[in-house]
Structure 1
Amino acid sequence: MTEAEHGRVTIRVIADEAGVSVPTVSRVINGRSDVAPETRKRVEELLTERGYQRRRSTRAQSPNARLVDLVFNELDSPWAVEILRGVEDAAHSAGVGTVVSAVHRRRASTEQWLDNLRTRASDGVILVVSQLSSPILEQLRHLRVPMVVLDPAGGPTMDAPTIGATNWAGGLTATEHLIELGHRRIGFIHGPKQVLCSRARFDGYRAALEAAGIPFDPALVCDGDFYHQSGFDAAKELLGLDDAPTAIFASSDQMAFGAYEAIRQRGLRIPEHVSVVGFDDLPESRWTSPPLTTVRQPLSEMGSLAARTVLDMAAGNAVDSPRLELATEMVVRESTATPGRT
């Protein structure tokens, strides 16, 4: 009796039927890119038709060794720590370990992570990356590992559930807060324009201006990258305008912290001369001087939800929605006041 007749679908059975070698089938199963497209298609069709189940390692089968991968572009941001906190809390509750990787936007780092992923049979992957190349995405799909994209800094376009925050509503609420205080010249420091959440915050800013009948002035918008230096540079540019803004909405807390320093160096005070609003509500926001008014993005909760979602997928459960958004919340502290208060 052959292996196929006995009901066992092995790599050799697939290889024989496809007319290829066993290593070729193994490369297809592991998502390797060095397989001809026609061969890959034929092997994948047979894997599906025969109901081949990828065998997990003994370590992965052990409930004490289950793992979920958490992947960032960089780990040099406080919001990354908040996301990690949420993922680890949910993973720990489920008895699952967390493997944290930073791909640094370099192909070599990403390839190394993929090689590691193939060997450790992860239960699932949580991606917190702004972009991945098409070949990398293709390899991830072929690995057939459950994936969730968590996108406070954007997310790659791929067939996977995404988890984010209500960035448009947050941008709207922050700008409305400043308008209600009496501000009409409101500067905006943009995050990376290719990132979805950054564009949504800017759209919320513009919507609030339009609703209040305040003309949009492109001169009041400066580019940033979510980090301190860009907030400092943008605020210096805004404050150097002949008709400088009385308030600045920075679309990340880190850029707001940079704006604080630019305002200080110009000999101005917050909020007496310039009001400042951030976005994220990082732990440092309450300890700045003055404490920062900001939009709370539930980063830890987003991480927890991402971990629970990917573990549900690994257990074979269906995802309720392909896109989940958690609500943002305005946190008013001491960095905003009515304009011209001296």
Structure 2
Amino acid sequence: MRKMEMIFIKPTLSEIAKELGIAVSTVSRALNKKEGISEDLRKKVLDKALKMGYIDEIPKIIQQSQNIIGVIIPNIQNPFFLTFLKGIETILFRMNHRFIVCNTDEDVVKERVYLKWLSESKVKGVIAAPAFSISGETNINLYKKINQYIPVVLYDREFYETQEFDSVIVDNQAAIVDGVRHLHEKGHKRIGILLSKRGNYCIEERHKGFMKALRYFNLKTENKWILENLYPSSSAEEKLNSFFELDNRPTAMIATNHDISYSFLRIAKKYNIKVPDDISLLGFSEVPENEIVNPPLTVIKQPILEIGNIAATAMLTRIENRNKEVSQIVLKTTIVERKSIKNITKKGRG
């Protein structure tokens, strides 16, 4: 493991510039293929960067690349990512491109292995939903390194530390605020939230949205109504068991992904707690099963196919023009109303 991490330790641009006797800005322009640098000087900078370990043999590999895109997904069993893959396939196939899928299982170490493998393979770019550990650890530096030579487009989640990647995401905070508004309009004032893996960009944003909505609608929650790290499923089941044994439960809960919604329904049934009569549930992500589950699930819907279409288009555009301005697209969610939320207003009860 130590040997793997040593691969990513590199000298600074200043050290390369000092070795060559040129300005740091010149080194940066040469490595990033900017205009105004002669091919001879660019070659000298690349050679020195290779010898000093600043870069690997990535530039040589890219010259041999075929029309293949690497796609990083965090959970191949999650219907969100299957629909997303359909979205990118529609665009890439039409443009005579293929793609390789790498499933990280939300594991930053496994992701690191895949990223290094993709950088050594003949891919033209990487479309990725980066992995985040519970502590917030990511492979951001490796993504930055790869992005110097082949395009990286992020989807579903971003890195807080940088804005240098093309990306397409939904407004996760606004999605949860809209969800709380929907519940509030149905008369709910005691609301909790079911959070998947903390540290993950999407989950952190959805938690921020929840706290923002509580302040906006002047609502209060309790710590025991905020369930965290419901990942993997074994952890979710244990925490949901404890939740359903509470004497003082909220009238409604918001799930932050598809798996948690269904775990909640399953454990509620075990405790003979009826949704929505005893407690309401607002899910997150639209899948076909939402219509046939009992009760049919009201959800926050993400435009998943559109996310895939845009991510693939952004990748092809970036391949054609490496110097274009960074594109960061934020899409809106909608609420699909079914039968899992009870109207407890006076009008609803009447």
TM-score (norm 2): 0.75
Q: Identify which of 282, 298, 302 aligns with 1:297.
A: 302
Instruction: Describe the shift of the 1:261–1:57 C-alpha distance in structure 2 as closer, same or farther (beyond 3 A).
Output: closer
> How many residues are treated as equivalent by the alignment?
303
Indicate if the aligned counterparts of 1:103 and 1:113 stay in contact, CA closer than 8 A: no
The separation in 2 between residues aligned to 1:157 and 1:93, in whole angstroms, is 34
2:121 maps to which residue?
A: 119
Pairwise CA RMSD of aligned residues?
Answer: 3.0
Structure 1's 215 and 124: CA in aligned 2 closer, same or farther, altered over 3 A?
same
- How far does residue 224 in structure 1 lie from its aligned partner after superposition? 3.1
Instruction: Give the corresponding residue for 1:78.
Output: 79
Query: Displacement, 1:300?
Result: 2.0
In 2, the alpha carbon distance for the partners of 1:217 and 1:327 equals 29
Q: Secondary structure at the match of 1:277?
A: strand
- Aligned partner of residue 216 in structure 1, secondary structure: coil
Moved more, 105-114 or 281-290: 105-114
Could you tell me how far apart the structure 2 residues matched to 1:41 and 1:271 are? 68
**Matches of 1:179 and 1:109 in 2, distance apart?**
40
* Residue type at the aligned position of 1:84: L
2-structure distance, mates of 1:227, 1:107: 17
In structure 2, what residue type is equivalent to 1:115? W
- Cα deviation, residue 271, structure 1: 1.1
Letter of the structure 2 residue corresponding to residue 110 of structure 1: R
Aligned twin of 2:312: 307
**Whole-Å Cα distance in 1 between the matches of residues 187 and 256 of structure 2?**
20
Aligned-partner Cα distance in 2 for 1:133–1:113: 9
> 1:220 & 1:92 partners in 2: Cα distance?
45
* Identical counterparts, % of pairs: 19
- In the alignment, the residues of structure 1 paired with residue 67 and residue 303 of structure 2 have an alpha-carbon distance, to the nearest angstrom, of 26
2:143 is equivalent to residue 137 of structure 1: yes
Return closer, same or farther for 1:293/1:320 CA change in 2, 3 Å cut-off. Answer: farther
What is the match of residue 50 of structure 1? 38
Q: What whole-Å deviation, never above 9, does each CA across 1:268-309 have from its counterpart, x for those lacking one?
A: 211111111111113322221111111001222112111100
| Alpha-carbon distance between aligned partners in 1 of 2:173 and 2:114, rounded to the nearest angstrom | 36
Report the Cα distance in structure 2 between the residues aligned to 1:75 and 1:253, rounded to whole angstroms: 13
1:136, distance to aligned residue in structure 2 (A): 2.7
Q: 1:261-276 alignment to 2 at 5 Å?
A: 261-276=266-281
Query: Which structure 2 residues correspond to residues 99-110 of structure 1 after superposition, within 5 A?
Result: 99-104=100-105, 105=107, 107=109, 110=112
Q: State the SS of the aligned residue for 1:214.
A: coil
Q: Which structure 1 residue ranges, 5 or more long, are not aligned?
A: 1-31
The equivalences for 1:243-254 within 5 A come to 243-254=248-259
Q: Which residue matches 1:7?
A: none
- How is 1:152-301 mapped onto 2 (pairs within 5 angstroms)? 152=157, 155=159, 157-158=161-162, 159-225=164-230, 228-301=233-306
Q: TM-score, normalised by structure 1?
A: 0.77
Shift in Å at residue 113 of structure 1? Answer: 4.4
Paired AA for residue 95 in structure 1: N
